[in-house]
Amino acid sequence: ETGVTQSPTHLIKTRGQQVTLRCSSQSGHNTVSWYQQALGQGPQFIFQYYREEENGRGNFPPRFSGLQFPNYSSELNVNALELDDSALYLCASSLGGPFSYNEQFFGPGTRLTVL
């Protein structure tokens, strides 16, 4: 059983650019959540996807968008990057969907630096 993987590990972009981060869910998991973790803070929920549909969103602007694919892998896209977008981006997968509370398994994260 493979765990949650994320790519790339590190990324450097400049302000105004666009970025795509990728996540492969743990085998059999159909739900994926994305979190942003600024330095010294706890992770903040961005959004969640269940069976390719967005199922809940945190307090993030529309320039943060996502996709979930039929194989349950997922992408996080961020447009018009700002300096404050520099953070560790975490993907978490779980089995279930709305109204289920199975534990979430996190990937190692992608460290994004915006210059």
Partner 1 sequence: DAKTTQPPSMDCAEGRAANLPCNHSTISGNEYVYWYRQIHSQGPQYIIHGLKNNETNEMASLIITEDRKSSTLILPHATLRDTAVYYCIVRPSQGGSEKLVFGKGTKLTVNP
Question: From CA 38, how far away is CA 44, in angstroms rounded?
Answer: 8
**Selected binder of partner 1 within 78, 81, 90, 112 (CB under 8 A):** 90
Strand ranges for 25-102 from DSSP E: 31-37, 44-50, 53-57, 64-68, 74-78, 87-94
Question: From CA 45, how far away is CA 89, in angstroms rounded?
Answer: 10
**Binding range to partner 1, per CB under 8 A, among 14-22, 29-37, 63-71, 79-87:** 29-37
**Residue 13 CB, nearest approach to partner 1 (Å):** 20
Which residue in this structure is represented by tokens 């993907």?
91
Phi and psi angles of residue 83, each rounded to the nearest 5 degrees, phi first: -60, -35
What residues numbered 47-66 form the site for partner 1, per CB under 8 A?
A: 48, 55-56, 58
Residue 6 forms beta bridges with which residues?
23
**Binding range to partner 1, per CB under 8 A, among 12-20, 65-73, 78-86, 89-97:** 89-97
**Residue 16 CB, nearest approach to partner 1 (Å):** 28
Q: Which residues bind partner 1 (CB under 8 A)?
A: 4, 31, 33, 35, 40-45, 48, 55-56, 58, 90, 92, 94, 96, 98-109
